[in-house]
Structure 1
Amino acid sequence: MDAYNLELFASCLAGLEGELAEELKRLGVRRVRPLGGGVAFFCDARRALAACLWSRLASRISLVVGRVDAASADALYDGVRALPWEEVIAPGASMAVQAHGMNAELRNTRFTALKVKDAVCDRLCEVRGQRPDVDAASPDALVDVRVREGRATVSLDLVGASLYRRTYLTPDDGAEAPLECALAAGLLAVAGWRGEVRGDAALVDPACGDGAVVVEAAAVACDLAPGLARDAWGFFGWAGFDEDVWVDVLDEADERFERGLAAQLGEGVAASSSVAPDLTRVRIAGLSTSSPAIARARGRAKRMGLRQVVSIEHGGAQEASALVERTVAAANAANVTGTDTAALCLVASVLGAREQASEASAQAHAAAFVAAAQAAPVGSAFAVAGGQAVEDRFGIAPALRTELGRDRVAVEALVFDKQPAQAAVVVVPDPAGGAEHRVEVLEQGSDQFAARLFKVAKEHRKWARREGVGCYRVYDADLPEYAVAIDLYTGAGDAEGNLYLHIAEYAPPSSVDPAKARRRFDDVLALAPVALGVRPDHVFAKTRRRDKGGAQYRDAGRRSYVTQVQEDGFLLEVDLSGYLDTGLFLDHRLTRALVGQKAAGKRFLNLFAYTGAATVHAAGGGALETCTVDLSQTYLDWARRNMAANGFEGPAHAFERADVLSWITECRRSPRRFDLIFVDPPTFSNSKAMGSRTWDVQRDHVELLIGVSRLLTEGGEAVFSCNLRTFKPDVDALAKYGVSLEDITAQTIPHDFERNPKIHHCYLVKRA
């Protein structure tokens, strides 16, 4: 394989092939050929790596290994085995194969992938004397085979995860977020916001949503490679990968970003003209009526290191129109195509010098994107991609071509075929008694949600103040159409005085229109911080979804936001963003208090301890010693921090990492016994650390509680809690082993969870 004349293919959204070809040319690639769905090109290894790092428009970049006969399974096997895989897959790299397309003989893509995998492995075994490991979930080298009629193109994926999954996204962003990034990059490329953008340019997006357009625009303006922060690439498993070359490519990108960022921070918008002082800082601006969306957009800019060059503010159609007019006028380009403010969908003003012979002849140019008749409301999705429908969920009609004049850019603007419900304005009272707030929403019925939330929050606020409760549930799917749980956290310690909202959406049933559910959730995110008086950047939104294997909830994301709260005078650490749950189960507030009341002078054991909040209560209640057991080292470390924050350290407080059932078995063989045990197991678990076993609280609670009872001292007791709503203890089976249960569920349900009395079950466990 000629390292200086590699054949590659970069895929992209249909309609952007021409723009992608131009992008590759700017990266130094000379031989490019736009095709349907992407661009074929030839270059050396260094430019191939640079294309992976720098392309804003490509989804994937693959190295073409060869084209083979696919008239039959045997022909495919022989052709693939004849290819020089020892020059393609690095020694020691794991591999996997994905197949696309079918013909009369190859009608199952899994079978096709299996034949290709066998051929590659047999070739490498023959040449190297060892078969490569196969890792279908996370391979070092991913082989792609595409069957079309009687031929198959076999390639090596050089990127791994799609290039559209920008590093400013989080796992909580959802499956559609990478597509939004791609559409934003395509919009900007078609509009002419490319590498020639300089510090005297400006872009305004009055419907910025989660900020994809403004963040992509800022990355271009600052010369930031979109893949600079990625730490995993498909070419790490490529035999032709040269680490020294890659380090050199990265160093060059780092230097370009440093220069680009410095240039942006040192220049203003049209600094040489008479511009109002506040506009000199507005190089790239976005507006939104959704406070949570603003927080997410700012977070994206911050994660990319671009927060200083992006302005993202709260505003609706009127503010958008004024900002566009001011920015355009400031850059001496007031003649921007537009429409009535109410019909404005998106305006991206691109102002800058064109490539002309002299500066005197340079002309400012602008591009405005508008819906022709009825535009989507501000804040809705907006897409650009050469005339193709992108996904059914967007409901996008064929492209509307808008000519913006000789000095402007002809663009493809996709507008909504199925219009969402007309936007409405909800008036929300101020929780502090100030002026009313007007919030633009997407669903007419959201005014009922706002009224319900404000009413419940007012009552709960009085109760919490009276009871000294700082963290509590405000709303829990009170209205079935707005199925969310909203928890309010009051900061303590270094976060004293801060308020935070944790909003978890219950995944809607399949009978509910996903687009309608999304609009309702967006309305919740817009209304909740206003009704509760919480800063937009202190709102954390997640979605609860059931795993196929059982009732365990998945993590919502891993980017943490750690702060401290207070419960019964104890400082506790919570992570409001990193996981679906925050580290503090609010429905167990009274259960933890009960543990604290019973702990005086006792030896205390906390099983399935999670973050150790119950251990803190036991230690604070006067326990002589505590032992905290959990399978997760992450949670044990968290429990240690919670204990240390309250002054509970030293040999009297043990932390042990173990599978709880195995730990109980071992402990029963020792003389260790406990006066008080707290047991709060998960509903379901299939943790890898448990080996082949799984845990199911309904199935396994008898074994668990028998073991727990054997660890109790004479007269000792255990508090057992679980969150399976349909849980039914097997009282008869437990009684045979001398274990008695007393149902104390009712007295452990806090006031803020009374609407849902099955939020958990709680029992006192004793040994007869």
Structure 2
Amino acid sequence: MENEDIELFASCLAGLEAPLADELRRMGVRRVRPLAGGVAAFCDVRGALSACLWSRLASRVLAVVGRVDASDAERLHEGVRGLPWEDVLACGASIAVQTHGANDELRNTRFTALKVKDAVCDRMLGQTGRRPEVDPEEPDALIDVRVRGARATLSLDLSGGPLYRRTWLSADDGADAPLSCAQAAGLLALADWQRLCEAGAALVDPACGDGALVVEAAAWACDLAPGLVRERWGFFGWGKSEPEVWNDLVREADERFERGLARIAGADALEAPSSAPPDRARVRIAGASSSSPAIARARLLARRAGLRQALTVELADAQSADGQVARACAAASRDASDGAARCLVACILPTGDRAMSEARARADAAAFAAASASAPEGSVFAAVGGEGVEERFGVAPALGVEIGKGRVATKALVFDAPPVGTTEVSVPDPAGGAEHLVEVFEEASGQFAARLRKTARERRKWARREGVTCYRIYDADLPDYAVAVDVYEGAGQAAGNTYVHVAEYAPPRSVDPVKARRRFDDVLALVPVVLGVRSDHVFSKVRRREKGGGQYREARRRSYVTQVQEAGFEFEVDLAGYLDTGLFLDHRLTRALVGAKAQGRRFLNLFAYTGTATVHAAAGGARSTATVDLSQTYLDWARRNMAANGFEGPEHTFERGDVMAWITEARRAGRRFDLVFVDPPTFSNSKAMGRRTWDVQRDHVELLIGVSRLLSEEGEAVFSCNLRSFKPDEEALARYGVALEDITAQTIPHDFERNPRIHKCYLVRRG
């Protein structure tokens, strides 16, 4: 077949258009033009197939068939039918259509896809006498339709699926794994890893996560074509594809990989089984993580890619970064073109909802900075994402590129100078080992570390003595470090794990917000080291003090659900995904009081949240329980907590409703309870409440009058709230026959004694 000018469009992650254009030029593709979200170009069949096989930066490779009028459905059908599909589609190829974009006449992408499919089938029937089979799941040929204004561009997807989903990925690697590969490839391109690698440089990823970056770097260094062992391609259904050309490209890629692997890993390493660990003395591509499960996944990824001999992944943290860089550079010195070993220190640092633990993200950023500081002269430093990276470096990046859009938007930074913006704090090892040097922004953060260490020792002794497994160890003890630090000991399948939850109180306006943020960064860097806890088991939130009470502000993160115990009962907590964890630690004694009073009583839990008080009441021998909350999410959570402790059956009900309205209905129905627990929020304007809002100071009289009317003759209620300025209107309550007894002092646990205003608590009875 004669070579033809084929118009290509290679799509990519936003921000990577320029390096993708350079990549295509190196393949010999002509008339390359970067556009938003991809690159337009022209080539022959060999060039198109090479782009599919070799592109590290393209997501899809499309062969443009034509552009047609899409001002309405009929014109679209007519235009598509006029295109030469009999030359585009291979004989007998099944098809599917995917559509992007819309206009005033073509608003529904499914309808547009249907019109295009009908037009293609009509054309093929008229030209060949056969309608192609439609296979929406695994078509031989995927037709891509992009509607923009009154025009539609029709293309054939030669890749047949996202190229970012590398062949070494599996379904178990998660939905974000292809994105990590795309970010890794993009970062390596922006840092010019090709040139550094050819000059014999080392690469170190000191926070390698699941290993996407080190595997991509090794694939690049070993000349492994990303699509070498890919089994399905969209060009299998392309009428212009040339099997002999493809087979020739694959043979050439096989040979290049064999030579590249021998060059990087050494000929002797290739004789060892692919599962065998590489000789660290020879390998100049290295990753590190403080998480053993992450290391196992990274090594598995490398084995699947056939690159286990070309890289090493170790257990390490920021404190051991210098040793890792030194070993990698020593291995690189044998390959360095001028004998001077250099290094690319690179990381993918998750941000936003992909950074489940902010402390882990900060620890990874610190490890990146520490490794960069120990790299030899002439090294390059590159990172995707991460918070505070620029501040840690203290120098402007040589290159900064926004990559991705929407939820996956982040920034790639490349530095040509090492960091100069931090200092070090010495922290004693909690297990008695060697001291740790932790990079911090503020020298005074050493005082926070010392205070946290002291209070943690005292509180742990108390907790062991009292059998407490979830407790507070620090609560704004130092005014400049206004955070609350809580410890959660895992239970059930999580037994043996320790988790830490850090909540920052927003500083007053008089405090420089940049300085406050640097201090919080230091807190998150120091907490796991001082307490001897894995950084990915440290979770954080920011508490804003608002008028009428406190509210949390936190970038939405994925849930991290685990099990803990309190007084022998098992509870589910979510340390990352919600504003609160599901267990209010300051109510530990209040819940115990409820349990002690529950024997033989009908129990009602209002504003029940996750039902922890209901568990205590049921365990205390309550005759029945009713758990009421406006949120179905929390009611389901409460049901799981009850079931986990063996409390199921018709005597335990879970009722969804606005508490004030629910009380009115319960009174009308004549329902009565012997013990009620009422722990309302300080303020709420939930949409489910309609136009009404809730304010505990304003509405507590109406609430407690209603609660008192649900009490049996000898019944009582335990009422608590967290508004520090709360003052009950006892005079108004007395007029309606409601008596209050302040029992706050006896419900403040030892770990909250420093801040006895954490909540107010009262017994409520009929006067």
The TM-score, its normalising length taken from structure 1, stands at 0.62
Residue 318 of structure 1 aligns with an amino acid whose one-letter code is D
Aligned to 1:608: 607
SS in structure 2 of the partner of residue 273 of structure 1 = helix
Over 3 Å counting, the alpha-carbon distance change for 1:640 and 1:84 in structure 2 is same
Contact 1:506-1:544 within 8 A present in 2 as well: yes
Q: CA deviation at 1:710?
A: 1.6
Aligned to 1:279: 278
Over 3 Å counting, the alpha-carbon distance change for 1:443 and 1:302 in structure 2 is farther
Residue 764 of structure 2 aligns with an amino acid whose one-letter code is V
Equivalents in 1 of 2:513, 2:673: separation in Å?
Answer: 51
Over 3 Å counting, the alpha-carbon distance change for 1:626 and 1:738 in structure 2 is same
Over 3 Å counting, the alpha-carbon distance change for 1:203 and 1:730 in structure 2 is same
Q: CA deviation at 1:600?
A: 1.8
Aligned to 1:619: 618
Q: CA deviation at 1:732?
A: 4.0
Q: Note the 1:40-55 alignment, pairs <5 A.
A: 40=40
Residue 435 of structure 2 aligns with an amino acid whose one-letter code is E
Q: CA deviation at 1:169?
A: 13
Over 3 Å counting, the alpha-carbon distance change for 1:760 and 1:397 in structure 2 is same
Contact 2:17-2:39 within 8 A present in 1 as well: no
Q: Note the 1:312-711 alignment, pairs <5 A.
A: 313-314=316-317, 315-328=319-332, 332-333=335-336, 337-338=340-341, 346=345, 377=373, 383=382, 396-398=396-398, 414-415=414-415, 422-507=421-506, 516-544=515-543, 552-553=551-552, 557=556, 559-711=558-710
Q: CA deviation at 1:534?
A: 2.3
Structure number with the higher helix fraction is 2
Q: Write out per-residue CA displacement over residues 309-339 of structure 1, whole angstroms, 9 at most, x where no aligned residue.
A: 854622445313322134426x855856557
Q: CA deviation at 1:580?
A: 3.5
Aligned to 2:136: none
Contact 2:701-2:733 within 8 A present in 1 as well: yes
Q: CA deviation at 1:606?
A: 0.8
Over 3 Å counting, the alpha-carbon distance change for 1:485 and 1:85 in structure 2 is farther
Q: CA deviation at 1:449?
A: 1.4
Equivalents in 1 of 2:706, 2:225: separation in Å?
Answer: 62
Q: Write out per-residue CA displacement over residues 534-577 of structure 1, whole angstroms, 9 at most, x where no aligned residue.
A: 23443334444689999543565453433322212222222333
Contact 1:279-1:327 within 8 A present in 2 as well: no
Over 3 Å counting, the alpha-carbon distance change for 1:512 and 1:192 in structure 2 is same
Equivalents in 1 of 2:447, 2:183: separation in Å?
Answer: 34
Q: CA deviation at 1:604?
A: 0.6
Equivalents in 1 of 2:451, 2:181: separation in Å?
Answer: 35
Over 3 Å counting, the alpha-carbon distance change for 1:413 and 1:554 in structure 2 is closer
Aligned to 1:270: 265
Over 3 Å counting, the alpha-carbon distance change for 1:323 and 1:682 in structure 2 is farther
Q: Write out per-residue CA displacement over residues 102-124 of structure 1, whole angstroms, 9 at most, x where no aligned residue.
A: xxxxxxxxxxxxxx9x89989x9
Q: CA deviation at 1:586?
A: 0.7
Q: Write out per-residue CA displacement over residues 473-528 of structure 1, whole angstroms, 9 at most, x where no aligned residue.
A: 11123223333322111223343333222223445567656665454334333322
- The Cα RMSD (Å) is 6.3
Residue 626 of structure 1 aligns with an amino acid whose one-letter code is T
State whether structure 2 residue 762 is matched by structure 1 residue 767: no
SS in structure 1 of the partner of residue 653 of structure 2 = strand
Contact 1:80-1:119 within 8 A present in 2 as well: yes
Equivalents in 1 of 2:101, 2:702: separation in Å?
Answer: 41
Q: CA deviation at 1:451?
A: 0.6
Equivalents in 2 of 1:509, 1:301: separation in Å?
Answer: 44
Aligned to 1:19: 20
Over 3 Å counting, the alpha-carbon distance change for 1:655 and 1:446 in structure 2 is same
SS in structure 1 of the partner of residue 464 of structure 2 = helix
Aligned to 2:408: none
Equivalents in 2 of 1:758, 1:692: separation in Å?
Answer: 31
Equivalents in 1 of 2:58, 2:697: separation in Å?
Answer: 49
Contact 2:681-2:722 within 8 A present in 1 as well: yes
Q: CA deviation at 1:447?
A: 1.3
Q: Note the 1:3-82 alignment, pairs <5 A.
A: 17-20=18-21, 22=23, 32-34=32-34, 39-40=39-40
Q: CA deviation at 1:452?
A: 0.8
SS in structure 2 of the partner of residue 741 of structure 1 = strand
Sequence identity (%): 61
Of 449-458 and 16-25, deviating more is 16-25
Over 3 Å counting, the alpha-carbon distance change for 1:598 and 1:709 in structure 2 is same
Contact 1:144-1:154 within 8 A present in 2 as well: yes
Equivalents in 2 of 1:764, 1:500: separation in Å?
Answer: 34
Contact 1:285-1:312 within 8 A present in 2 as well: no
Contact 1:491-1:497 within 8 A present in 2 as well: yes
Q: CA deviation at 1:583?
A: 1.4
Gaps of 5+ in 1: 68-78, 98-115, 129-142, 147-151, 229-243, 246-255, 349-373, 401-411
Contact 1:427-1:437 within 8 A present in 2 as well: yes
Over 3 Å counting, the alpha-carbon distance change for 1:534 and 1:413 in structure 2 is closer
Q: CA deviation at 1:184?
A: 5.2
Equivalents in 2 of 1:466, 1:481: separation in Å?
Answer: 31
Contact 1:605-1:626 within 8 A present in 2 as well: yes
Q: Write out per-residue CA displacement over residues 270-305 of structure 1, whole angstroms, 9 at most, x where no aligned residue.
A: 1523699753587853347xx6xx689769969999
Aligned to 2:741: 742
Equivalents in 2 of 1:16, 1:689: separation in Å?
Answer: 45
SS in structure 2 of the partner of residue 623 of structure 1 = coil
Aligned to 1:186: 186
SS in structure 2 of the partner of residue 755 of structure 1 = coil
Residue 491 of structure 2 aligns with an amino acid whose one-letter code is A
Equivalents in 2 of 1:505, 1:60: separation in Å?
Answer: 44
Of 498-507 and 606-615, deviating more is 498-507
Contact 2:614-2:627 within 8 A present in 1 as well: yes
Aligned to 2:123: none
Contact 2:21-2:32 within 8 A present in 1 as well: no
Over 3 Å counting, the alpha-carbon distance change for 1:382 and 1:283 in structure 2 is closer
Residue 566 of structure 1 aligns with an amino acid whose one-letter code is Q
Q: Write out per-residue CA displacement over residues 593-632 of structure 1, whole angstroms, 9 at most, x where no aligned residue.
A: 1111221221111112122111111112221211112233
Q: CA deviation at 1:41?
A: 6.1
SS in structure 2 of the partner of residue 758 of structure 1 = helix
SS in structure 2 of the partner of residue 581 of structure 1 = coil
Q: CA deviation at 1:60?
A: 13
Over 3 Å counting, the alpha-carbon distance change for 1:33 and 1:544 in structure 2 is farther
Residue 677 of structure 1 aligns with an amino acid whose one-letter code is V
Residue 328 of structure 2 aligns with an amino acid whose one-letter code is V
Pick the structure with greater CA Rg: 2
SS in structure 1 of the partner of residue 552 of structure 2 = coil
Q: CA deviation at 1:666?
A: 1.6
Residue 721 of structure 2 aligns with an amino acid whose one-letter code is C
Equivalents in 2 of 1:735, 1:224: separation in Å?
Answer: 77
Gaps of 5+ in 2: 81-97, 115-145, 158-163, 231-236, 239-249, 348-369, 401-411
Over 3 Å counting, the alpha-carbon distance change for 1:375 and 1:626 in structure 2 is closer
Over 3 Å counting, the alpha-carbon distance change for 1:627 and 1:179 in structure 2 is same
Q: Write out per-residue CA displacement over residues 381-427 of structure 1, whole angstroms, 9 at most, x where no aligned residue.
A: 95479xxxx99998625559xxxxxxxxxxx984389x976433333
Q: CA deviation at 1:729?
A: 3.3
Over 3 Å counting, the alpha-carbon distance change for 1:592 and 1:399 in structure 2 is closer
Q: CA deviation at 1:430?
A: 3.1
Equivalents in 2 of 1:512, 1:29: separation in Å?
Answer: 56
Equivalents in 2 of 1:55, 1:685: separation in Å?
Answer: 52
Residue 273 of structure 1 aligns with an amino acid whose one-letter code is D
Residue 425 of structure 2 aligns with an amino acid whose one-letter code is V
Q: CA deviation at 1:753?
A: 1.7
